[in-house]
Structure 1
Amino acid sequence: MVLIYYDLNRLILSGENSETPYKRATKLIPLHQKGITFLTTTACHPYGKCIVTGDSSGQVKFFDCNFMLLFWYQDLKFGPVNCVSFATTSLFTEKNQSSFTESIKGKAYPTCATIGAEPFIIEDFIVSTSSAFMISVTVEGGLKKIILREHDSDVNGLTTHPVLNHVATCSHSGLVKIYDYESKLVVTMKSFGLNNSIQSCVYDKTGQYIGQLF
């Protein structure tokens, strides 16, 4: 998939209608093999600002302003990327610039995919996907954690526990989630995979077992 770059200062006017500008693509830049689903910018070190893209396979890539690849996360395979949201800490504020180099010493930041291999430093971020995942990414150390998983299709099965304040839901996404309907909290969940769509679910009389119909 390519990114189309337009020069807004070079508009081509069509015929006699001078009020209808047509933009002409000045550059086609291949960035992903899959479709690009998200595009934004964020602060980074050492390039000041970088371009962030997400694609339909779940990859998140970072480029400098000349579209040179700096770093990418190819193991975030939780569905097409809908949004990437960055933390707003004091990491890149002016008051910290003088001591910035000292503050990152000894920390396990990844390195840029460049010849210089400088430390690649951005704010921690959260990725949301169309498969109803939210993943927290800690840049230092590369820690990735699923912080939310929901049904990404209609809930088509529901059953209540015979004794406890629990209700179980299931869907064609292959996910079973059990909630405490008084505290509104998730008790547990189990994913059987997208290829195992669940038609319905039911507790047994004792509440010790829950059956699913695939």
Structure 2
Amino acid sequence: TLQQHVCVWDWTGDIQTPLCCSELNPNHGLQVPLSSFKSAQIVISLIMLLWSMCISEAHPGGAVDLRFPTSCYSICAADGALVQTAFHWREPQVLTATAGGSVVVSFSPLFFSPVHFTRGPYLFSSPVLLTCGPHLFLSPVLLSCLVTGDAEGVVKFFSQNFLLLAFYSDLVQDPISSISLSSESTAGYLVHCPTYKKQLYLKHLNSPFYRNFIVSSTGSSVLHVNSESAEAQSVLQEEPEPIHALCCHPSLPLLVTGSSGGMLKLRDMCSRRTVTQREFKQEEGLTCVTYDPSGKLLAVGFSSGSVDLLDSSSLRTNPEQEFHLSKDSINLLSFSDDSLYLAAADSGFAVSVLRRVSAGAPWEILGRHRSHYSPIQSLLFGLQLDSTLPRLLSLGLDRRLVEYDLELHSGLPVLSCQRVEQRAVPLGMTWYPPLSTEQFLLICSDQYKLRLINSTTHMCR
């Protein structure tokens, strides 16, 4: 089981060890490190514990005895798990938001009944004056209010008596994960973010609240909100799915990323903006992308076993350049130096090759061969030693280095197959620089070793 500890450090001094440290009870499960500090108390919200940090009187010499107590107090909620905990900015109270939309107000160790705010679960609950976690904000301006954000994208401001002051709706479509308030009440920020603006529904119930703030959501979007004009301005908008495919242009500062949700984006790395994007079908997750040596063509592999050839600038596809090569997911793509061959390795341990006769000619499937019995780690094109004809090699976890015959008009026969390791498992390979008349491959293994072998004789140098 994973052991977790709470430690207090003196970050202003040169001490390399914590002032005090205490192990958390593993019965409470894995805890998210969100905490709040006030005076001599520490609250770890999702632990459902209230720790009291004791400071005894100074010992002779000015030393302070700082330690954790052996006891703690449990916070119980009847309407869901605890989401966020923070100290009250004025009263000696602890405010704990729950997944059911309530806030538990408590003294240590006395507890009061929940105060119900909204129907949706809370993903953010914080007094303005507190910090020490990624979801809390420390402001030098004295504000007597509580800020909350729910799963419906609504931000609300409450007074210390839990009266609704104002709320902002239609911010985002995803649950709100973080709110950060500005220390100034004037507008006019982010003038160099010309993304999009939209008017929000703002309602002031008791008193106006003019304080700009930034909201982030679970959908990877960040908005800057002008509280006076109720205008939201996008700071960052990204796809929430993880990026599974990544490739750089061979000569231009362009980057292509592909997500598992089917979103393909072309980014300019100088201006750090998205040039163009294209969304594919949701069931066809992007698994790999690669440029051809000229940078004019972009090959995209999908989890469905298909490969599309796109125009690298517009990301458009010619219907004649869509190929279904396998029932398994495409893991690796590689172009030959003359851009006349494209090889693809799939999760079924097979290699497929596309070929076109000349530049500008349509592509055709040359063949497919299941040459490995373990996942393929590397797929490389090279040139034959005494000619300019291309050669194709693949390396798998089965320790086999396979070379294919590309000179036939149909089919993909194996030209040679060599075991390159005995005990170690090869993890990748690349061409060694042409520093001599011999051609070498540099292979790395799981035993932290590099092996230099002759690409023709397969002898280890």
In which range does the TM-score fall when normalised by the shorter chain?
Answer: 0.5 to 0.7
Structure 2 Cα separation of the partners of residues 172 and 206 of structure 1: 21
Hey, what does 2:274 align to over in structure 1?
A: 187
Residues 4 and 90 (structure 1), Cα distance of their counterparts in 2 relative to 1, 3 Å cut = closer
User: Which of 102, 113, 118 pairs up with 1:2?
Assistant: 102
Q: Tell me the SS of whatever aligns to 1:65.
A: coil
Does structure 1 conserve the Cα–Cα contact (< 8 Å) formed by 2:172 and 2:217?
no
Structure 1 Cα separation of the partners of residues 128 and 156 of structure 2: 12
User: 2:293 matched to 1:207?
Assistant: no
User: Which of 157, 161, 166 pairs up with 1:62?
Assistant: 157
User: Which of 117, 139, 164 pairs up with 1:31?
Assistant: 117
1:59-94 deviation digits (Å, cap 9, x = unpaired) = 211111111111111201242222111112276xxx
The amino acid of 2:210's aligned partner reads I
Deviation at 1:163, TM superposition (A): 6.1
Hey, what does 1:83 align to over in structure 2?
A: 178
Max Rg structure: 2
Deviation at 1:177, TM superposition (A): 3.1
The amino acid of 2:104's aligned partner reads I
Hey, what does 2:255 align to over in structure 1?
A: 167
Structure 1 Cα separation of the partners of residues 230 and 222 of structure 2: 16
Give the total of aligned pairs: 172
User: 2:140 matched to 1:140?
Assistant: no
Deviation at 1:162, TM superposition (A): 6.5
1:177-213 deviation digits (Å, cap 9, x = unpaired) = 32224x26123354859x9466227535652331599
Structure 2 Cα separation of the partners of residues 209 and 189 of structure 1: 7
Structure 2 Cα separation of the partners of residues 66 and 198 of structure 1: 51
Normalising by structure 1, report the TM-score: 0.66
Structure 2 Cα separation of the partners of residues 191 and 50 of structure 1: 43
- Report matched runs for 1:39-54 at 5 Å: 39-42=125-128, 48-54=143-149
Q: Tell me the SS of whatever aligns to 1:26.
A: coil
Deviation at 1:134, TM superposition (A): 0.7
Q: Tell me the SS of whatever aligns to 2:312.
A: coil
User: Which of 166, 179, 182 pairs up with 1:71?
Assistant: 166
User: Which of 204, 207, 222 pairs up with 1:112?
Assistant: 204
Q: Tell me the SS of whatever aligns to 1:79.
A: coil
Stretch moving more, 148-157 or 169-178: 169-178
Structure 1 Cα separation of the partners of residues 121 and 310 of structure 2: 48
Hey, what does 1:19 align to over in structure 2?
A: none
1:99-120 deviation digits (Å, cap 9, x = unpaired) = xxxxxxxxxxx65224xxx4x1
Hey, what does 1:12 align to over in structure 2?
A: none
Structure 1 Cα separation of the partners of residues 251 and 310 of structure 2: 9
Structure 2 Cα separation of the partners of residues 175 and 71 of structure 1: 37
RMSD over aligned CA atoms reads 3.3
- Which consecutive residues of structure 1, in runs of 5 or more, have no partner in the other structure? 9-22, 92-109
Percent of pairs with identical residues:
23
Stretch moving more, 148-157 or 131-140: 148-157
Residues 52 and 205 (structure 1), Cα distance of their counterparts in 2 relative to 1, 3 Å cut = closer
1:157-192 deviation digits (Å, cap 9, x = unpaired) = 2344576431121213554432224x2612335485
Normalising by structure 2, report the TM-score: 0.33
The amino acid of 1:112's aligned partner reads H
